[in-house]
Amino acid sequence: MTFEEFKDRLFALAKKNGVEVQISFLETKEFSLRLANGDLDQYTDAGKFNVEIKVLKDGKTGAFRTQVLEDPEKCFEEALSNLQIKDSEEKEYFFEGGEEYREMETYVGRFEKLSVKEKMGMAKKAHESAAKDERVAMVPTVMYRDMVIKKIITNTLGLNVESQMDGGFLFAMAIARDTNPRSGSWYELARVPEELDPEEIGKRAAEEAISLIGSKTIPSGKYPVLMRNTALLDLMEMFIPMISAENVQKNLSPLKGKLGEQVGNPAVSIKDLPYHPKGLSSTPFDDEGVPTTEKFVLENGVLKTFLHNLKTARKEGVEPTGNGFVGGIRPVNLMLMPGEKSFEELLKEMSRGVVITEVEGMHAGANSISGEFSLFAKGYWVENGEIVHGVEDITVSGNFLDLLRKIVLVGNDVKVSQHTIAPSVLVEVLDVAGK
Amino acid sequence: MVKKKGGVTVLNESVIRDVLSAVLKNGGDFAELFFERKFENRYELKDGKIEQATSGEIVGVGIRGFLGTKAVYAYTNDLSRENLINVAKKVGEALEETKVEDLTFNFNRTKRKERHVVLIPPAQVEKTDKVSVMKKAYYAAKNYSELIKQVVVWYWDYDQEILVANSEGTWAEDRRVRTRLMINAVAEKDGVLERGFYGPGAGMGFEFFDRIDVEEAARKAARIAARMVEAEPAPAGKMTVVIANGFGGVIFHEAVGHGLEATSVAKGASVFAGKLGQKVAAECVSAVDDATIPNGWGSANVDDEGTPTQRTLLIDKGVLVGYLVDKLGARRMGMKSTGSGRRQDYTFPPTSRMSNTFILPGDYHPEEIIAATEYGLYAKTMGGGSVNPATGEFNFAVSEAYLIEKGRVTKPVRGATLIGKGHEIIQKIDMVGNDLARDQGMCGSFSGSVPADVGQPTIRVKEIVVGGRNK
């Protein structure tokens, strides 16, 4: 049956049973091309939809997800049976809607207008550009991907919101020849294909790999660290669970009880920017239909707010912040606000120390409950403000909250990732394990 | 065209024939259809109360075509005949050049031998019984120590039915039922928080909870949190590390396993490419991937390409003897599939993946290994890790560690990460214990997140970089 019929039947069921119901419809279309050593390795052109049915009764919700619009009765019963096993006393809510939402152009449609040939051309160009230098042994992966996502959220309390977004992604990985192979990669995300420069992405991937030829390990010790934007973007992911009001309320965040306190260096400001023009996740409303809001999380180092969904906000008697997403509370675009200095100036400022360009193993080596991290890292050894050689076989470790205090200078070289946006930063000192 | 048969949505054979034909009429030399229906339950408990309760079903079809080593994939969850044929046509068109003349398919529908018998399917269990298990775990962890301030328990089960049919005549059906309980305990002392995690699972139904001691599993998570919150930071630098059995096998999974997958090997983007028959590891190391283990977390009767699963010897006394190969990898490498084609669900094209992968037991008692170590780290419980197969650079986190001093396990230390290059570290294993055990994890790669067992007996690595703190 059509979505409209399905919705009408569910709304009628809700009315008959004296409960509220909310339906979230998510349709995704993706196209991707993956090249291995310049040859087509994988071509994907596909689409699907997901529907979540949520029932609200006596301050409790139960959910059921399906990909079949056949049997609204069964979906309703399933959601209701999940509601019945909940015994948490914390009240849950649906949003009534009726609010003003920001007008945004999250769908441009330029990617959909490209022909397969043009997309292939972009991937090939990135490959050629990455493979050009003779020190590059191979280009195992070039990936082009674009997607369109359509969302509808509607409930029996009157909420009815709809959005559509599109965007694309180009990634290249190069391997440079050395006694041990050296890998380098680069990617860009964009709302329109014109902002993805295949030549540049390929070139950067090759440069990253080549720059690590002759890498050496360094003695274990405490060093000043220039955390390049590429590494900071990943590291900031571990801050996300810490600023979730849910985790704070449940004793799962080291930031508990620190609201209003100076937790970071005054040089550090972090905002959630849901309308950032370059953020592919940018959206006027969250997955509960609540309008998203721009806000400081950290302003000159002071912790200003946690991120809320409806439940955590109403529990504390504050306004929801529009951060209730499927899978948990999260920012839309968490941005560490840029400073004045260029990357080169930060390098000069550090004079002697380590540049970290990449951290690996975030899902295991970064602990958002304690704030501790210990991660495999790659980068360069710096003396007299100049890169001397690449570093290999090292880890960088510390505590993220401690790192926020030790960021002494913030760069102006902003890079955009899925949920985080950041420049490079100079950190007074971090622990490095090497030889 | 979608029929309900015994409550199960199935595609009929004539539609499947038409789909495969529609691919090959338009291009390619091989066509495959993958149908999946999966029903799952996920519950979350915090502070002793059920906070989240969600169930769901996914139903969809993946259609794939090859032309030589070129692969095109599409998926959809509109299962109407018209749409499926349309999607199939597009797959064929993207492959160009028709190679196949004969479009009659003789499906070989042999009855499958069920190696993973399920006694109590999730759908037959009252939701409240599942909740009882969660609460039992919660109280066991909460009451372990006064330091335990929060316990989060997740319950997850699913029942997946698949059908794979291809133009070579494969017609394979399989059912995978999996059940898992995950416990995250949080300890607090002097304002410092630390966590402990344990997540046992199996390829079976609710009978899983008759096979394991739920309270013991919960206390394990609590023990890790309580010990580690009082621990000082792990030392930094190169040292000898003894890695305990069970989840310790993540070292082999990351350092070597991913580098043996055809996905990387076929492109030459693995440090183990071209090394078949060569000595790549210390002689005390032998390892296998075995998807046939009855009711194993990573087991199946057939893989997601319809190939029967097998036990594959990967390393024999230090010599590389096998890779993990899927259908596309088989074409690229001129080898046979090892039944290793796996995917998270129909939205991912399958690729070569590990199933249950572990180092085989050696001769030493674990106590002997520790006693023989003058100074080093005892990595008792491991977190996850990752690797870049092209360079062999891997990392994994140690979630519970102790120092070894003068042959004895002494004080707890926290926050250690172990890193290195797989091809170097695997040569530095110098002692292998006799206490093989396996544990459960989720492995992420090109074809999504799949259940996988890691495992090993206690082993010793002579020298490896420990990412900790400097004095």
pLDDT in tens, A296-330: 999 999 999 999 999 999 999 999 999 999 989 99
- Which of B90, B91, B415 has the CB atom closest to A372's CB atom? B415
Tell which A residues from 331 to 360 touch B, by Cβ distance under 8 Å: 360
Determine whether the interchain pair B386/A363 forms a contact, defined as Cβ–Cβ distance below 8 Å.
yes
Mind listing the pLDDT tens digit for each residue in B45-71? 999 999 999 999 999 999 999 999 999
Mean pLDDT for chain B overall: 94
CA distance A47 to A29: 4
- Which of B57, B91, B150 has the CB atom closest to A252's CB atom? B150
Determine whether the interchain pair B467/A397 forms a contact, defined as Cβ–Cβ distance below 8 Å.
yes
- Which of B51, B75, B391 has the CB atom closest to A46's CB atom? B75
Q: Is A365 in CB contact (< 8 Å) with chain B?
A: yes
Task: State the smallest CA–CA distance between residue A48 and chain B in angstroms.
Answer: 5
pLDDT at residue B103, as a whole number? 82
Backbone torsion region of residue A352, taken as left when φ is above 0, otherwise alpha when ψ lies between -120 and 50, otherwise beta: beta
CA distance B297 to B355: 8
pLDDT at residue B10, as a whole number? 59
Q: Is A121 in CB contact (< 8 Å) with chain B?
A: no
Burial of A160 (0-12, 13-18, 19+ CB in 10 A): exposed
- Which of B87, B149, B467 has the CB atom closest to A395's CB atom? B467
Tell which A residues from 23 to 52 touch B, by Cβ distance under 8 Å: 36-37, 39-49, 52
Residue with tokens 């120390």: A353
CA distance B133 to B209: 8
Mind listing the pLDDT tens digit for each residue in B289-303? 999 999 999 999 999
Q: Which of A395, A403, A432 to mutate to test the interface with B (most CBs of B within 10 A)?
A: A395
> Which CA distances in Å does B84 have to A116, B17, B78, B91?
21, 11, 7, 11
Determine whether the interchain pair B414/A372 forms a contact, defined as Cβ–Cβ distance below 8 Å.
yes
Contact indicator for B174, B300 with CB cutoff of 8 Å: yes
List phi, psi (to 5°) of B254: -80, -50
Name which of B68, B88, B70, B69 is nearest B78 in CA terms: B88
Q: How does strand A420-422 pair with strand B319-320?
A: unpaired
Would you list the domain boundaries of chain B? 122-160+177-232, 237-467
Q: Is A192 in CB contact (< 8 Å) with chain B?
A: no
Determine whether the interchain pair B417/A376 forms a contact, defined as Cβ–Cβ distance below 8 Å.
yes
Q: Which residue of A has its CA nearest to B129?
A: A85
**Coil vs helix vs strand at B147:** coil
Residue B4 has pLDDT above 70, yes or no: no
B379-382 own/partner pairs: CB under 8 Å, 24+ apart:
B379/B241, B379/B242, B379/B243, B379/B244, B379/B248, B379/B416, B379/B418, B380/B244, B381/B196, B381/B198, B381/B224, B381/B244, B381/B247, B382/B243, B382/B247, B382/B248, B382/B250, B382/B251
Contact indicator for B43, B56 with CB cutoff of 8 Å: no
pLDDT at residue B5, as a whole number? 41
Maximum Cα interatomic distance, chain A, rounded to a whole number of Å = 75
**Residues in chain B within 8 Å Cβ distance of A364:** 383-386, 395-397, 417
Question: What tokens appear for A286 in the block?
Answer: 């969250």
Residue B7 has pLDDT above 50, yes or no: no
Question: Distance from CA of residue A85 to its chain's centroid?
Answer: 33
**Coil vs helix vs strand at B101:** coil
Residue B403 has pLDDT above 80, yes or no: yes
End-to-end alpha carbon distance in chain A: 64
Q: Which of A29, A48, A116, A173 to mutate to test the interface with B (most CBs of B within 10 A)?
A: A48
Name which of A53, A417, A23, A431 is nearest A235 in CA terms: A417
Mean pLDDT value of segment B112-118: 90
pLDDT at residue B3, as a whole number? 44
Total-model pTM: 0.93
Burial B428-457 (b: 16+ CB within 10 A, else e): bbbbbbebbbbbbbbbebbbbebbbbbbbb
**Residues in chain B within 8 Å Cβ distance of A52:** 56
Determine whether the interchain pair B193/A222 forms a contact, defined as Cβ–Cβ distance below 8 Å.
no
Question: What tokens appear for B337 in the block?
Answer: 């599939």
pLDDT at residue B164, as a whole number? 96
> Which CA distances in Å does B275 have to A360, B265, B272, B319?
26, 10, 6, 9
Q: Helix B214-229 vs helix B127-142: angle between axes, to the nearest 10 degrees?
A: 40
Question: What tokens appear for B349 in the block?
Answer: 């094209």
Q: Is B133 in CB contact (< 8 Å) with chain A?
A: no
Q: Which residue of B has its CA nearest to A51?
A: B56
Determine whether the interchain pair B269/A175 forms a contact, defined as Cβ–Cβ distance below 8 Å.
yes
Question: Distance from CA of residue B182 to its chain's centroid?
Answer: 15
pLDDT at residue B97, as a whole number? 78
- Which of A44, A395, A435 has the CB atom closest to B419's CB atom? A395
**Coil vs helix vs strand at B219:** helix
Mean pLDDT value of segment B246-272: 95
Confidence of residue B99 (pLDDT cuts 50, 70, 90): low
Q: Which of B3, B35, B54 to mutate to test the interface with A (most CBs of A within 10 A)?
A: B54
Contact indicator for B141, B154 with CB cutoff of 8 Å: no
Q: Is B208 in CB contact (< 8 Å) with chain A?
A: no
pLDDT at residue B104, as a whole number? 84
CA distance B50 to A84: 10
Q: Is B38 in CB contact (< 8 Å) with chain A?
A: no
Q: Which residue of B has its CA nearest to A242?
A: B193
pLDDT at residue B40, as a whole number? 97
Determine whether the interchain pair A37/B268 forms a contact, defined as Cβ–Cβ distance below 8 Å.
yes
DSSP β-bridge partners for residue A395:
A376, A433
Q: List the B287-290 sheet strands across, edge first.
A: B319-320, B311-316, B287-290, B356-359, B448-456, B437-445
Tell which A residues from 223 to 242 touch B, by Cβ distance under 8 Å: none
Length of chain B: 471
- Interface size, chain A vs chain B, as Cβ–Cβ contacts under 8 Å: 243
Mean pLDDT value of segment B197-219: 98
Q: Is B188 in CB contact (< 8 Å) with chain A?
A: yes
Contact indicator for B153, B214 with CB cutoff of 8 Å: no
State which H helix or E strand residue B223 sits in.
Answer: helix B214-229
ipTM of the prediction: 0.91
pLDDT at residue B8, as a whole number? 41
Determine whether the interchain pair A361/B386 forms a contact, defined as Cβ–Cβ distance below 8 Å.
yes
- Which of B57, B94, B395 has the CB atom closest to A66's CB atom? B57
List phi, psi (to 5°) of B306: 85, 5
**Residues in chain B within 8 Å Cβ distance of A250:** 46-47, 150, 152
Residue B1 has pLDDT above 50, yes or no: no
List phi, psi (to 5°) of A179: -60, -40
Residue with tokens 């996905």: B263
Residue B304 has pLDDT above 80, yes or no: yes
SS (H, E, C) chain A: CCHHHHHHHHHHHHHHHCCEEEEEEEEEEEEEEEEECCEEEEEEEEEEEEEEEEEEECCEEEEEEECCCCCHHHHHHHHHHHHHCCCCCCCCCCCCCCCCCCCCCCCCCHHHHCCHHHHHHHHHHHHHHHHCCCCEEEEEEEEEEEEEEEEEEEECCCCEEEEEEEEEEEEEEEEECCCCCEEEEEEEEECCHHHCCHHHHHHHHHHHHHCCCCCECCCCEEEEEEECHHHHHHHHHHHHHHCEHHHHHCCCCCCCCCCCCECCCCCCCEEECCCCCCCCCCCCECCCCCECCCEEEEECCEECCCECCHHHHHHHCCCCCCCEECCEECCCCEEECCCCECHHHHHHHHCCEEEEEEEECHHHHECCCCCEEEEEEEEEEEECCEEEEEEEEEEEEEEHHHHHHHEEEEECCCEECCCEEECCEEEEEEEEECC
Mind listing the pLDDT tens digit for each residue in B309-367? 999 999 999 999 999 999 999 999 999 999 999 999 999 999 999 999 999 999 999 99
Backbone torsion region of residue A97, taken as left when φ is above 0, otherwise alpha when ψ lies between -120 and 50, otherwise beta: left
Residue with tokens 């004080």: B411
Contact indicator for A203, A378 with CB cutoff of 8 Å: no
**Spatial CB neighbours of B213, under 8 Å, sequence gap ≥ 6:** none
Q: What one-character DSSP code corresponds to residue B144?
A: T
**Residues in chain B within 8 Å Cβ distance of A329:** none
**Spatial CB neighbours of A406, under 8 Å, sequence gap ≥ 6:** A265, A427, A428, A429, A430
Q: Which residue of B has its CA nearest to A373?
A: B415
- As a CATH number, domain B122-160+177-232 is 3.30.2290.10
DSSP β-bridge partners for residue B351:
B342
Low-confidence ranges of chain A (pLDDT < 70): none
Task: State the smallest CA–CA distance between residue A170 and chain B in angstroms.
Answer: 16
CA distance B29 to B346: 21
CA distance A413 to A243: 25
Other Cβ atoms less than 10 A from the Cβ of B167: the count is 22
Question: What tokens appear for A361 in the block?
Answer: 């193993």
Tell which B residues from 422 to 461 touch A, by Cβ distance under 8 Å: none
Contact indicator for A406, A429 with CB cutoff of 8 Å: yes
Q: Which of B44, B51, B449 to mutate to test the interface with A (most CBs of A within 10 A)?
A: B51
CA distance B273 to B267: 8
pLDDT at residue A43, as a whole number? 92
Q: Which residue of B has its CA nearest to A430?
A: B469
Length of chain A: 435
CA distance B290 to B288: 6
Name which of B156, B163, B167, B179 is nearest B59 in CA terms: B163
Q: Is A88 in CB contact (< 8 Å) with chain B?
A: yes
